[in-house]
């Protein structure tokens, strides 16, 4: 078996995707826009100083929600990635870093908590790992990271209001090959729930500025 090469590399594509999203995000709801405006500088500053990722043979033990293939390590200030990690793990973990490090994202995190509460199924309606690890999968930060992965995979734009038709067109061609998106499908209230999270967790030029 070949020896795994340990190396550090910049998070270029994920960093640029998230930087573009946060720079161009424009929320019509004045209350949410104000909250986002308070968070935006610290989030962008974090992305400007995004950590490198370090490829490692493994990351701890399975926690019941599946094999751990990525994790932000604050002590090393690096994002650990395993050789078999899907590409979207970088975006997922970098979203955590951008919003959590140094308290960034605190205002929007409160709003995301309410949105997730509205759009994620209650524990009593879930089964298997999603019920056993409900606190993990329903954590607003985890849901937000998965939503960012979906946006990247689907090619949604920062100034785009995602319509039901647009989302359905994506799922009509979706091959079920992204665990983050599969998690959203399993824990949310169907495509409508995902649509609301897409538009309200980081909405832009929307036709409806009310949370539901």
Q: What tokens were used for 115?
A: 């949105």
Residue 120 belongs to domain spanning? 8-201
Any domain includes 209: no
d(CA 58, CA 77): 17
Identify the bridge partners of residue 79 per DSSP, sorted by sequence position. 53, 72
Any domain includes 45: yes
Residue pair 96/180 in contact (Cβ under 8 Å)? The answer is no
- The per-residue pLDDT of the chain, averaged, comes to 83
Q: Is the pLDDT of residue 10 over 50?
A: no
Contacts of 61 (CB under 8 A, 6+ apart): 68
Residues, the chain: 212
Any domain includes 146: yes
Q: What tokens were used for 40?
A: 């935006």
Share of the chain above pLDDT 70, in %: 83
Given the DSSP bridges, would you call strands 70-73 and 8-9 parallel, antiparallel or unpaired?
unpaired
Any domain includes 206: no
Identify the bridge partners of residue 80 per DSSP, sorted by sequence position. 54, 71
d(CA 81, CA 73): 11
Any domain includes 62: yes
Any domain includes 104: yes
N-term to C-term CA, the chain: 53
Identify the bridge partners of residue 78 per DSSP, sorted by sequence position. 73
d(CA 37, CA 14): 22
Contacts of 117 (CB under 8 A, 6+ apart): none
Q: Is the pLDDT of residue 4 over 80?
A: no
Any domain includes 208: no
For residue 32, count other CB atoms closer than 10 A to its CB: 20
For the chain, the domain total comes to 1
Tens-digit pLDDT profile for residues 106-130: 788 788 889 999 999 999 999 999 9
Tens-digit pLDDT profile for residues 158-195: 888 889 999 999 999 999 999 999 999 999 999 999 99
Any domain includes 3: no
């Amino acid at each position: 078996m070949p020896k795994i090469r340990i190396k550090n590399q910049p998070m270029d594509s994920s960093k640029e995707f998230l930087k573009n999203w946060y720079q161009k995000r424009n929320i019509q709801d004045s209350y949410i826009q104000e909250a986002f405006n308070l968070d935006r500088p610290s989030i962008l500053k974090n992305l400007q100083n995004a950590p490198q990722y370090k490829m490692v043979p493994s990351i701890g033990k399975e926690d019941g929600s599946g094999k751990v293939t990525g994790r932000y390590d604050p002590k090393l200030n690096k994002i650990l990635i395993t050789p078999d990690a899907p590409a979207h793990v970088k975006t997922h973990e970098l979203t955590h870093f951008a919003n959590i490090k140094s308290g960034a994202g605190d205002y929007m995190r409160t709003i995301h908590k309410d949105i997730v509460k509205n759009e994620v199924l209650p524990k009593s309606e879930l089964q298997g790992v999603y019920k056993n690890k409900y606190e993990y999968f329903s954590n607003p930060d985890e849901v937000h990271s998965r939503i960012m992965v979906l946006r990247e995979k689907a090619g949604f734009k920062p100034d785009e209001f995602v319509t039901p038709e647009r989302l359905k067109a994506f799922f009509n061609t979706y091959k079920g090959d992204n665990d983050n998106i599969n998690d959203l499908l399993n824990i949310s209230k169907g495509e409508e729930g995902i649509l609301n999270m897409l538009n309200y967790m980081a909405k832009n030029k929307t036709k409806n500025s009310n949370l539901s």
